[in-house]
Each structure stands twice: as structure tokens, then as C-alpha cells.
Amino acid sequence: MHQFFQRHTQKMTVVTGTSLLAVLVWGCQEKEDPGFLWEVETVVTGNYCFEPTEGWAESFLYKLSFEGAAVSLSIDDEQFATGAISGCQIVYNSVVWVEPRDGFEIRWQLSGDAFYRQGAGCENHLADNQDWLGTETFTIVNSEHPDYPVGCEMVLDVQGTYAGAVE
């Protein structure tokens, strides 16, 4: 279930003879996509069908990129969900992910709902030391696996702090 959130860093730079001078002059650093960052911690609070993961917790750096009221959520510049904002609230969903498990195929989707803050505002929804407060739910939407029926869910609390902007 958590394969998507495993961090895979694979960078390959191929330098040919004509581009070697450009690399030496201009550098080979990739420019990160613009957005706003939150350091979040996810904690499993409800596990209704997956392997025992109660108490599982992991930290991520979420990046949000806005276009009007539409928002894209990424981890390590890999988009994992899209959604919409309204005031201090964001609602988002992932695509349906396919995961092989024990020789069977499971399809699941993430849905999330959070209050967020970048800078000032949203004090009515968030404590002073909190810039992200939400819930994410992993739901099995299709399954061939006899132990993981459609509709099973795992619920996570997500809390975090604003970590700045990438320009």
C-alpha cells in the first residue's frame, strides 16, 4: 500500500561531447517545480483491512502547486493527488493506483481533506503551531485478493507545518 510513498531517487545524467561544455559552464542542476511546502507527519488511526500497521507513522514534504482554486499535491516532485481549495480548506484525491500483492491485483485510491495555512490566516481552524491538519483515507476500489475486499479503508491523520516556497 505504501509503495508510492517510498522514496526512489534515480537521477541519470547523460553528457555528450557537445553538451559537456554547457554542463561545465551552466552546471547540471535540475530546477525544481515551483510550489509551497509543508512538512507533514502521517499517522495511521484506523486500519480496517490491511496488514497490521496501527501506529505506523511517516514524515513527508508535501508540495502544493496552485492554479486558481485547483491544486496539485506532490512528494519529491511526483504528483500524487489533485484537488481544490476553498478558503483554508483543501479537498483532494489521487488517481487509482494498482498494487500487486501475493500474486493478486489490488486497486486503491487516496482521498484527503485538510485545513492548511501558509503564513497568516486560518486561525479559526488551526492551532498556533499547526499549518496542516487533515485526514487521508486509502480505499480499495477493486481487488482480486481474497483478504482485501472492495471498500476496505486505512485512515491517517496528517499534521504539519509550513516550510516555505519553491520559486
User: What share of the chain in percent tops pLDDT 70?
Assistant: 77
C-alpha cell at 102: 501475493
Q: Assess whether pLDDT exceeds 70 at residue 132.
A: yes
Decide if pLDDT at 13 tops 70.
no
Kindly report the pTM of this predicted structure. Answer: 0.77
Mean pLDDT for the stretch of residues 15-32: 39
Q: Please determine, for residue 3, whether its predicted confidence score (pLDDT) is greater than 90.
A: no
pLDDT tens column, 80-124: 999 999 999 999 999 999 999 999 999 999 999 999 998 777 878
pLDDT of residue 63: 97
- Give the HSE-up count for residue 103: Cα atoms under 13 Å, Cβ half-sphere: 1
Q: Where are the domains of the chain?
A: 32-166
Please determine, looking at this structure, whether the domain spanning 32-166 carries the CATH number 2.40.160: yes
